[in-house]
Amino acid sequence: MILSAPEIVRYLNRQRTEGNLVINPYSNESQQPASYDLRSAMDILLPRGTCTLVPSLEWVELPRDLAGTLRCRSSFGRRGVLLGAGFIDPGFRGQLTLCLTNLGSDDIIIRKNDRVVQMILHEVKESEQCYSGRYQDSRGAVEAK
């Protein structure tokens, strides 16, 4: 099940000992009907024909019963930007590294706080395992390890 805006807010506010949904800093303007728009943490140029790693402004923590799918916002897709990686496992925490490839005809400037990627949250049933990989607690744009 994809979480709606009221469900996302409920997950953000619920009191649990096993982990909560965290989106910090949270912005009401980024909350969409069935997703949350992640923002760029910095001003950055997306040169045409290249993949650029862009850190999300938000620190995200997913509890064991949520996973996330990332999609490039359509306003960037219409300019030729594609998102390379797009799944967040339950239990992940950290800033997200957004792998943005500019296939358009012009260089694109992204400004700090621009909403660039939609995070769609899904319920995960009967999950016992949480992410514990090498990107846990990531800060900034993280190169492949």
Res 16 pLDDT > 70: no
| 51-61 β-sheet, strand order | 22-24, 51-61, 93-102, 81-83
Per-residue pLDDT tens for 61-89?
Answer: 999 999 999 999 999 999 999 999 889 99
Integer-rounded Cα radius of gyration of the chain: 15
pLDDT at 18: 63
Q: Which residues of 15-25 are buried (b: 16+ CB within 10 A; e: fewer)?
A: eeeebebebee
Instruction: At 6, list the tokens.
Output: 């009221």
**What are the chain's domains?**
5-123 (2.70.40.10)
pLDDT at 142: 85
pLDDT at 17: 61
| Residue matched to tokens 């949350």 | 36
Per-residue pLDDT tens for 77-132?
Answer: 999 999 998 899 999 999 999 999 999 999 999 999 999 999 999 999 987 788 88
pLDDT at 124: 94
DSSP state of 29: G
**Rounded distance, CA 3 to CA 82, Å?**
24
pLDDT at 129: 84
